[in-house]
Amino acid sequence: MHIHILGICGTFMGGIAALAKSSGHKVTGCDTAVYPPMSLQLEKLGIDLVEGYDPGQTGLKPDLYVIGNVVSRGNPLMEAILDQNLPYVSGPQWLHENILREKWVLAVAGTHGKTTTTSMLSWILEYGGLEPGFLIGGVAQNFEASARLTASPFFVIEADEYDTAFFDKRSKFVHYHPRTAILNNLEYDHADIFPDLAAIETQFHHLVRTVPSNGLIVANAKEESLKRVLNRGCWTPVEWFGSGEGWHAVQKGEETDIFFGRQDEGMLSWELLGEHNRSNALAAIAAARHCGVPPKVSLEALAKFKNVKRRMEMKGIAGGIAVYDDFAHHPTAIEATLAGLRGKVKAARILAVLEPRSNTMKMGVMKDALARSLVDADLVFCYSGGLDWDAKSALLPLGEKARVIGNLDQLVQEIAESSRSGDHVLVMSNGSFGGIHEKLLAALQPKAG
């Protein structure tokens, strides 16, 4: 079958393209900007890419169009597909019908930590000899890939609550029908499509309704929102983490002892930072045990786990100054990321550099929580380009340590002038941030020596 994917360069749709190609389909696709790294990955797979959404692409005569949620009514190619009554389907629906239907699906849902936890779980199953397929919203460094199809019955997927397509406003994860579901956390986000937290809780409740009675739900005991979701109805055994009665971690110096209730399952010794990552590990260990992987094996696997790219990823050191890249963009994630780095660097200075780029942040919905999430930084630099709200007012509680700059080159210059040897510069954005990491490292280089 020939499928043509609209919005192919997004991580999720690019992953679907890779899975479709592995399944033996002919795959082509288009996007408004055919851009790396996904464009390079797809070209290596022999997938032809088209720039833009010209309606003439119907001349390719594919058997099916797979539509990404970036596509809306008014898109010229989509209008041509509708006018000509051509067959189309959403990405999540295609994935279920063609890949997931016969699999033991392990779905990782939550506002934060989905990509990291999905990568952890995939690696644990791989280390345990189960050779899972996976679709991850980032590049898992233990695999150097974001998607893989195998003959294994197990498939791990990052289960996003964002909507499916312009014609299907349910969350993507409703299509996945997991047997094992991780509910990592649940806060308000995606203000462009959800009016409030209750609306997201309803979507999570729909996910819970699809998990069979012989499955397992692994849920965060610290989240009242998840307790509300499960209280609305649950037909599946639940294992809680973050609770003394369920899975929990006890810190012992640099190492972490893992317990399931009173049962000591072993020691977690790894390089990842922060309580949020220990929480992610608990969820992954519990889900893997449901598939038959003993916690002892999971702990061995996590000792060799390499974090996902753009999760506290060291980009380089220049002039004695370390520059990191992190995907954090929600205040809760920003606070957790800073806390993790603070635990590592102790009293050394942290310069936090933030681009409020997500749709929710651009709308200013989280602006009142922003200053509080950044208190652990010694200096804060906020890029205000493209914002419709006053970032200076939002960061006023931070006093003189906060600086708001609307020009990228000026931002780089001020960070470079403010930094000194021994500092740690933490850049946080869910986009490329104009290549700021490379620009910073170049600007800091003259300080060497």
Based on the domain organization, do 321 and 207 belong to the same domain? no
Cβ count within 10 A of residue 10: 18
3 state SS of 416: helix
User: At 77, which amino acid appears?
Assistant: L
Backbone angles phi, psi at 146, to 5 degrees: -105, -15
Q: What pLDDT, on a 0 to 100 scale, did the predictor assign at position 447?
A: 45
Residues 73 and 153 in one domain: no
Cα–chain center distance at 387: 23
Task: Give the DSSP letter of residue 389.
Answer: S
| Cβ within 8 Å of residue 77, ≥6 positions away | 6, 30, 53, 54, 55, 57, 58
Task: Return the CATH number at 10.
Answer: 3.40.50.720
Q: Does residue 61 lie within any of the structural domains?
A: yes
Distance of CA 22 to the CA centre of its chain: 23
| 3-state SS class at 233 | coil
**pLDDT given for residue 211 in this prediction:** 98
Please report whether residue 140 resides in a domain.
yes
Separation in Å, CA 9 to CA 30, 163, 424: 8, 17, 32
- Whether residue 119 sits in one domain with residue 251: yes
Does residue 287 belong to any structural domain of this protein? yes
Give the pLDDT score at 389.
82
pLDDT given for residue 449 in this prediction: 42
**Edge-to-edge strands, sheet with 48-51:** 48-51, 26-31, 2-6, 64-67, 88-90
Q: Which of 28, 56, 91 is the last residue of a domain?
A: 91
Q: Is the pTM of this model over 0.85?
A: no
User: Do 295 and 127 meet the contact criterion of CB atoms below 8 Å apart?
Assistant: no
Domain assignment of residue 135, yes or no: yes
- The answer to whether residues 50 and 116 belong to one domain is no
355 is in which domain, residue-wise? 313-447
pLDDT tens over the chain, length 449 residues: 999 999 999 889 999 999 999 999 999 999 997 766 677 888 889 999 999 999 999 999 999 999 999 999 999 999 999 999 999 999 999 999 999 999 999 999 998 889 999 999 999 999 999 999 999 987 788 888 889 999 999 999 999 999 999 999 999 999 999 999 999 999 887 778 888 999 999 999 999 999 999 999 999 999 999 999 999 999 999 999 999 899 999 987 777 899 999 999 999 988 777 888 899 999 999 999 999 999 999 999 999 998 766 777 889 999 999 999 988 778 888 888 898 889 888 999 999 999 987 777 777 777 888 899 999 999 999 998 878 888 888 899 999 999 999 999 999 999 999 999 999 999 999 777 888 999 999 999 864 34
Q: Which residues pair with 66 in a beta bridge?
A: 5, 89
Cα dihedral across residues 265, 138, 240, 234: positive or negative? negative
Which amino acid appears at position 148 of this protein?
R
Q: Are 172 and 162 in contact (CB under 8 A)?
A: yes
What residues does 403 pair with on adjacent strands? 381
How many structural domains is the chain composed of? 3
Determine the Cα angle at 157 with ends 311 and 327, to 5°. 20
Supply the CATH number for residue 353's domain. 3.90.190.20
pLDDT given at position 398: 92
Q: Identify the CA nearest to 8 among candidates 85, 73, 87, 65.
A: 65
Residue 309, pLDDT score: 66
Q: Where are the alpha helices (DSSP H) in 295-435?
A: 295-302, 331-345, 359-362, 367-373, 391-394, 408-418
pLDDT of residue 37: 67
Q: Are residues 265 and 224 both part of a single domain? A: yes
Q: Is residue 34 part of a domain?
A: yes
Write down the pLDDT at residue 197: 92
